[in-house]
Amino acid sequence: MSAYIDQFPAEAKVIRSAFYTSFIALALGAAFGLIQTLHRTDIVRVIPSEMYYTVLTAHGVLLVVTFTIFFLVAIFTWAVTTSLDRGVEDIRFTWSWYVLMSLGTLFAAVAILAGFTDRTEMSADVLFTFYAPLQAHPIFYIGLVLFVIGTWLAGADWFRSWWAWKQENPDERIPLPTFMVLTTMIMWYLATLGVATSIIVFLIPWSLGLIDTVNPTLTRTLFWFWGHPVVYFWLMPAYMMWYVMLPKFSGGRLFSDPLARVVFVLFLLLSTPVGIHHQYLDPGIAEGFKFIAMTNTMFLLLPSLLTAFTVVASMEHGARQRGGEGYFGWLGALPWRDPVFAGMALAGLMFAAGGFSGMINAGMNINYLVHNSLWVPGHFHLTVGTAVALTFMAVSYHFIPQVTGRRLASKQIALFQVVLWFIGMTFMSNAMHRGGLLGMPRRTAEPEYDFPFETAIGTVGELNAQIALGGVLLTLSTVLFVANMLITALNDPADDLPSNTIPEPLSGSEDAPLVLDNLKLWTAIAVVLVIFAYSLPLGSIVERGGLFGPGGDAFPMFIEFVEGTVFGLTGDSVSSLVNSPLEWLRAMR
Amino acid sequence: MSSDAAALKDADSPPDESAIERYIGHDEFDPIGTLALIMVYFLILVLMWLFMYFVEFVGNEPTVVGMV
Amino acid sequence: MNIHSYEKVWLIAAMLLIVGFIATITYGSVALGITMVDDSEETIDPNALEEHERFGDLGVHQTDSDEYDVHVRAYQFNFEPGSSALGTHDPIVIPQGSEVTFYVTSPDVIHSFSLVGTNVNTMVVPGEISTMTAEFDEAREYGVVCNEYCGSGHHGMEGLVKVVPEDEFHLFSVADVDAPESIEAGEETELTATIDNDALQTEAATVTLEIGDEQFDTDVEVDAEASAEATFTVDTSDLDLEDADDLDWTVTVEADSPATLEDGSTSGTIDLETDEDDEEADDEDDEADDEDDDPNDDDESTGDDE
Ligand code: HEM
Ligand SMILES: [Cu+2]
Ligand SMILES: [Cu+2]
């Protein structure tokens, strides 16, 4: 019985580094977040409005790429080593992917932050979606590629551990945490094919001037091919924490191991063939493809809805073991004063709300109401910005002592911090949702126009005040978190750390059908589903606009160049095919 | 109360063993509280969906319609 | 694999929820007829919008009795037509009770064209044409925003759609004004304005001439997709000329109705010859005749920019 650092001192060091990198990104991201909230609500404007987009690019990239994914690789390394009870195969390899990811981040960050100074023409004010023909400096794209390659190698590292373990334990089930890591990584390999193709084949050559034009719809579609599954890449480590850690902190056990496996398999299968739901309002994509993406997306709700049940049931098990009674009374028996538990439970609660606004986003025609309005940041600050971020912060209070061997600086402040995040996000996100319904646009430095936004209840001023207040509370909460982590890292060593264990589920892996562990089968099905979902839309986009687009110029956000050439291929054969069912139904009326 | 006792324990220790009053095995455990809670959530989802779709969305005219 | 019976209940409820969502959306698509922006238009060369039949002729066009097409170019950082806040372009004016199809494209980067507080909202992607048809039953104004980041001036990208009562809506424009370059002070003179009507029905236009500090109105009937002339006879001795050496004039059509894109005004200046500068005026006469058409260029640019 010992803490993680005693079991795996070398791995603990890599994990620690990844945690620290992610915390730096979080701190910087929060600072930019504060500037944004105060700027767009016109409370304090410390930067010129053109610079808002440099800030927003940095906020997006640092938080949803650097913060989340560095945290993920730390947690996944912990999960694989702990659940297989073996160290990594070669620690130098482990360091190499960490270094590659850091280098990638550094490249991208330099390109983005250069946008703040006029001394260099370099910049990358393209936001984290980098839609062409907006163009960033080549090192922005190169940085992203290095980062992604780093994550590929990290995945290889975990697969390698599993293969080595399997040689020694040929008849055992894949331990649940490792199973979660492997399925998530298979999804990631599949998903990153989209963005990697977009960047390597089109955007890098284009930003270097080797090709003149790109097809904006094609690069955008390839982006979203990755852009939806990436949200599950953020979410899966949080889910893993809810499945394997939350029961432990609730004083109970995971309700069902088999269902947890089913859920991760469903995510592997369904996360990727849905990305077109981000393009419901794009021209150049047939309505039929949008409809297919919509139904797939709706079925992707299933694993999350199942998770809600399993996770809450595991908490209830803990509460009942702790003496909880009644239909709802058991909630009071949960360890709400423990910041790790409270943070995760509040994150889960916010995810229930974020899940609802996500259902609206998924609803194809209702997208006319909310698309690109402030509703959307309202939604994802509940999901990635709280369900994921707050879970990560909460579990850090457990993991940082585990990987440093040091005592948590302050548990009281930790508890205050997670509650403060919850309150701040309630203000900010609620007001963002409401503002979005009025038609307030997202990604806008000065959402002040010649015409008014019509409010049914309340005023625009009141919404702005809530957004700004929420943003300030969130920033404060981040400061408390980072300070607590910093002091912990420098704190005295603790010799009474809890041991690094994962309790057995109530219904264990022996109840899970063997087929669930057949990763080859699930990979094959996932590939087939992606081919079904994407070959026709991609084919039609290329048929219409050509591989390199129907002409147009680059809009370098760093330097003006390139004249456009014309490619003129159009076609609508496939799209008329996929549209026919809806057209037929309409005609039936 | 036992839960408070757990909470006051050292920060890093998860409030597990000590606070547990009884052990409940798989077969004795019926997650009735979870079912109750999640049905409330279900109701909220249905009502909010209907409100968002038919009031906020359909009532937000003009709306893009096909050329009839 | 044993699944607890409560969890089975939830599994069924979750499936019902999913099917219910899909059913609602299908109902919206089929029964309410809400269609998605799609690939019904062919692609377009973003560098040659002027050569396109629609984007070479921006603005509002009538296609049937209550049906209009609006051709809009969304570019960094304006809508043409639409962005009227700073006077860059005209607002989009359409009649109440009409069915309007917007055709929007971009010559540069991705934008959006979104009518605030409505379900008229689309991405605008270079190389693609977004089309949306919607009915406008209420006479009011709608703000238009670009809600996709399109560069450092993105937050200033806005426009206006004005839905006006049907009887205030016209597709008139002043095509030409025939006015003398110079006259003797105190003489009588004549100005003739040619009024185009792009609407698909005959309409009566009130044409207004402002000259000096006087104003004259005249009504003309203009046939569908045709033009008519309005003639003003002005006796300069009735004008309060004081010691002015020239006379400014402006012709507008339906001045009080909100301007449509094609609605124009045109103006010019008439030299006033007094006894002292008689000789000079004679010399300038020939040049003046050549410049006769000048004011009309102004008018053209209002309607057919690009
Ligand atoms: C201190 C806490 C935070 C504050 C005050 C904050 C504030 C904001 C605001 C106001 C916006 C909207 C800007 C606009 O559309 O004009 C925004 C966008 C965004 N935020 Fe945050 N945020 C915070 C934390 C987070 C976290 C933890 C995440 C994710 C892990 C996150 C991810 C994002 C993303 C992805 C965007 C969209 C960027 C884009 O549109 O390109 N934020 N944030
Ligand atoms: Cu998505
Ligand atoms: Cu814009």
Tokens of B63: 């709306």
Tokens of A202: 């089109």
What pLDDT is stored for residue B18 in this prediction?
Answer: 65
Any domain includes B67: no
The ranges assigned to domains in chain C are 1-34, 46-166, 172-305
What pLDDT is stored for residue A262 in this prediction?
Answer: 95
Quick one: average pLDDT of C20-33? Answer: 95
What pLDDT is stored for residue C166 in this prediction?
Answer: 87
Q: Yes or no: say if C165 and C132 are a contact pair by the CB < 8 Å rule.
A: no
Q: How do residues A524-551 score in pLDDT, each as one tens digit?
A: 999 999 998 898 899 889 888 888 877 6
Residue A308 has its nearest CB partner, among B38, B44, B49, at B38
Residue A368 has its nearest CB partner, among B11, B33, B63, at B63
What chain A holds in terms of domains, given with CATH numbers, is: 4-552 (1.20.210.10), 553-589 (no CATH)
Residues facing C103 on adjacent strands: C71, C131
The total number of residues written for chain A in this structure: 589
Asked if A228 is an active-site residue, the reply is yes
Residues facing C34 on adjacent strands: B65
Q: Which residue has the tokens 């270094």?
A: A99
Q: Which residue has the tokens 């390139």?
A: A562
The listed CATH number (3.30.930.10, 2.60.40.10, 3.40.50.880, 1.10.150.20) that belongs to domain C172-305: 2.60.40.10
> How close is the nearest chain C Cα to the Cα of B48, in Å?
12
Least Cα distance to A550 among C45, C146, C31 occurs for C45
Asked if A277 is an active-site residue, the reply is no
Any domain includes B27: yes
- Cβ contact, residue pair C37, A302, below 8 Å: no
With a pLDDT cut of 90, the percent of chain A lying above it is 79
> Given A442, A544, A548, A558, which residue is catalytic?
A442
Any domain includes B35: yes
Position C283 pLDDT exceeds 80:
no
ipTM, two decimals: 0.91
Q: Which of A381, A396, A475 to mutate to test the pocket of ligand 1 (most atoms within 8 A of CB)?
A: A381
Residue of B nearest to C98 (CA): B62
Q: What CATH number is given for C46-166 in this structure? A: 2.60.40.420
Determine the structural domain holding residue B12 and report its residue range.
2-56
What pLDDT is stored for residue C301 in this prediction?
Answer: 36
Number of domains, chain B: 1
Q: Which of A26, A36, A235 to mutate to test the pocket of ligand 1 (most atoms within 8 A of CB)?
A: A36
Q: Which residue has the tokens 């090192």?
A: A139
Instruction: Please check whether residue C9 touches B, CB under 8 A.
Output: yes
Instruction: Please check whether residue C140 touches B, CB under 8 A.
Output: no
With a pLDDT cut of 70, the percent of chain C lying above it is 85
Q: Whose CA is nearest to atom 36 of ligand 1?
A: A60
Q: Yes or no: say if A107 and A146 are a contact pair by the CB < 8 Å rule.
A: yes
Quick one: average pLDDT of C199-218? Answer: 86
C135-138's contacts with Cβ under 8 Å and 24+ in sequence apart are: C135/B61, C135/B62, C135/B65, C135/C97, C135/C98, C135/C99, C135/C100, C136/B62, C136/C94, C136/C95, C136/C96, C136/C97, C136/C98, C136/C99, C136/C100, C136/C163, C137/B61, C137/B62, C137/C96, C137/C97, C138/C96, C138/C163
Any domain includes B42: yes
pTM of the predicted protein model: 0.89
> How close is the nearest chain C Cα to the Cα of A129, in Å?
10
Any domain includes B65: no
Quick one: average pLDDT of C75-81? Answer: 92
What pLDDT is stored for residue C234 in this prediction?
Answer: 85
Lowest-pLDDT choice from A455-459, B54-58, C15-19, C98-102:
A455-459
Least Cα distance to B52 among A417, C142, A357, A105 occurs for A357
- Mean pLDDT of each 10-residue bin along chain A, 589 residues long: 89 97 97 96 93 95 97 97 95 97 96 86 90 93 97 97 95 94 97 94 93 93 96 97 92 89 95 95 94 95 94 92 90 94 97 96 96 97 97 97 94 97 97 95 94 86 96 98 96 87 82 90 95 89 84 54 27 59 75
Any domain includes B22: yes
- Residues of B with a Cβ under 8 Å from any A Cβ are 2-4, 6-8, 10-16, 19-26, 29, 31-34, 36-38, 41, 44-45, 48-49, 52-53, 56-57, 60, 63-64, 66
Ligand 1 contacts (CB < 6 A) are: A 30, 33-34, 36-37, 40, 56, 59-60, 63-64, 67-68, 127-128, 377, 381, 384-385, 389, 442-444, 471, 474-475, 478
What pLDDT is stored for residue B3 in this prediction?
Answer: 37
Distance CA A410, CA A485 (A): 9
For B18-44, the DSSP string reads GG------TTT---HHHHHHHHHHHHH
Quick one: average pLDDT of C30-35? Answer: 93
| Residues contacting residue A330 through CB under 8 Å, at least 6 positions apart | A316, A319, A320, A324, B33
Distance CA A551, CA A553 (A): 7
Of A141 and C252, more confident: A141
What pLDDT is stored for residue C247 in this prediction?
Answer: 82
What pLDDT is stored for residue A111 in this prediction?
Answer: 93
What pLDDT is stored for residue A509 in this prediction?
Answer: 80
Of A417 and C83, more confident: A417
